[in-house]
């Protein structure tokens, strides 16, 4: 199942936060035969288009990092879209990967697959043990279906499809739009803008808003208009107001670390490693003469390895196994930005889930550990953000 440097690897979602980092990681390792398509070039929800793409490109390996994503508000408003779009993407890519004899597939999910009240830190085995968080239930169910597809194809057809579940990610190409970004980039931009208002650096504020307008307000607006729209997001002269109490705990992983973990798994980890047996040959099949997997080879159907009992939860958590409070995160952001004003917490606003830490012992046992600690990562993210405004 080894991939050599000439193997053709299709990275679905190669413009995204994780997909772009995986693409760059593969290039650095000398894997240059990479294939990517933007959403405009290939709509992964279109079954006919996906089949045509696989017919033409015939990749040796696939990284499925494409998804239909959004924050709490989007997840609540577009519930049908979140489950349907993600299921279509996954079904189309995984089924065509199988039909075209792809050697290795890496599926990227999210730790939102775990129950709302899962015991902490969350092990892979807590999947499907109690109800999900309601606000992102549809997205989570789609991702659970994706990892189950990988697991089921492996058990029935002897494929080598691995699913990884990353924790909260941050890094280059992050989303800093205040209306729909995640907690760290939103907090960082708020603190930065509050500092600029205090400094009277309206030229820099204009550059920032021209790059990423807020509710349609860009750098050409009057100072009054700008101050009014920023105040709606808790951004004032030398003061920032954040939602909640600041006490929830969160785990964060640098996106380039996530990419490195993903590529490590893609290149070095097989399904047999995850289920803990050396020989999994009873469900490994050869390809037929036309390059597609022979569907008639069904020795693995429904229990080729009964001595192992029930096989489930074969996905891999990817994170740091470390956490900090939102208040502690704000202190790191303040330090990185060089902000000398005040940060307040509005306890009348919701906190969200109080704790979301994953157990990463399986990942460590497979030979990978994170490199970037949060203290360095926050500074690296702010450095990237400032450069993005040049």
Q: What is the pLDDT of residues 282-315, one digit of tens each?
A: 444 333 334 444 443 334 434 445 566 789 999 9
Annotation says 161 is catalytic? no
pTM: 0.88
Q: What share of the chain has pLDDT > 70, as a percent?
A: 90
> pLDDT tens digit string along 120-157?
999 999 999 999 988 889 999 999 999 999 999 999 99
Bond into 121 cis (ω within 30)? yes
Over the range 15-43, which residues count as b (16 or more CB within 10 Å of their CB) and which as e?
A: ebbbbbbbbbbbeeeebeebbbbeeeeee
Annotated catalytic residue within 31, 139, 161, 236: 139
Tokens of 17: 């936060």
Residue 354: which pLDDT band, with cuts at 50, 70 and 90?
A: confident
DSSP state of 309: -
Does residue 357 contact residue 209 with C-beta atoms inside 8 Å?
Answer: no
Computed from CA positions of residues 343, 345, 349, 353, in that sequence, does the dihedral angle turn out positive or negative?
Answer: positive
């Amino acid at each position: 199942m080894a991939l050599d440097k000439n193997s053709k690897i299709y990275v679905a979602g190669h413009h995204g936060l994780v997909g772009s980092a995986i693409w760059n990681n593969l290039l650095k390792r000398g894997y240059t035969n990479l294939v990517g398509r933007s959403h405009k070039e290939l709509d992964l929800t279109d079954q006919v288009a996906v089949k045509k793409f696989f017919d033409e490109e015939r990749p040796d390996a696939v990284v499925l990092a494409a998804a239909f994503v959004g924050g709490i508000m989007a997840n609540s408003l577009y519930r049908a879209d979140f489950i349907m779009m993600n299921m279509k993407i996954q079904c189309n890519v995984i089924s065509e990967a199988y039909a075209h004899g792809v050697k290795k597939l890496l599926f990227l999910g999210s730790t939102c697959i775990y129950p709302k009240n899962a015991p902490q830190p969350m092990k892979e085995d807590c999947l499907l043990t109690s109800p999900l968080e309601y606000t992102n239930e549809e997205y989570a169910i789609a991702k659970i279906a994706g990892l189950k597809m990988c697991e089921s194809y492996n058990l029935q057809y002897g494929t080598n499809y691995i699913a990884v579940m990353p924790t909260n990610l941050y890094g280059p190409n992050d989303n800093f739009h205040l209306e729909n970004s995640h907690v760290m980039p939103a907090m960082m931009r708020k603190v930065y803008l509050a500092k600029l208002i205090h400094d009277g650096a309206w030229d820099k504020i204009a550059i920032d808003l021209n790059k990423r307008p807020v509710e349609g307000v860009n750098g050409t607006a009057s100072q009054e208009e700008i101050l009014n729209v920023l105040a709606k997001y808790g951004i004032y002269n030398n003061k920032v107001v954040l939602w909640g109490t600041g006490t929830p705990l969160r785990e964060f992983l640098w996106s380039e670390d996530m990419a490195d973990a993903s590529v490590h798994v893609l290149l070095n980890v097989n399904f047999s490693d995850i289920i803990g047996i050396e020989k999994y040959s009873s469900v490994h099949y050869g390809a037929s003469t036309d390059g597609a997997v022979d569907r008639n080879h069904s020795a693995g159907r429904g229990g080729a390895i009964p001595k192992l009992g029930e096989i489930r939860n074969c996905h891999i958590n990817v994170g740091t196994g470390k956490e900090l409070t939102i208040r502690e995160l704000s202190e790191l952001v303040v330090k990185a930005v060089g902000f000398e004003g005040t940060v307040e917490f509005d306890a009348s606003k919701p906190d969200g889930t109080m704790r979301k830490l994953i157990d990463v012992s399986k990942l460590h046992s497979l030979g990978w550990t994170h490199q970037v600690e949060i203290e360095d990562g926050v500074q690296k993210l702010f450095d990237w953000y400032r450069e993005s405004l040049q």
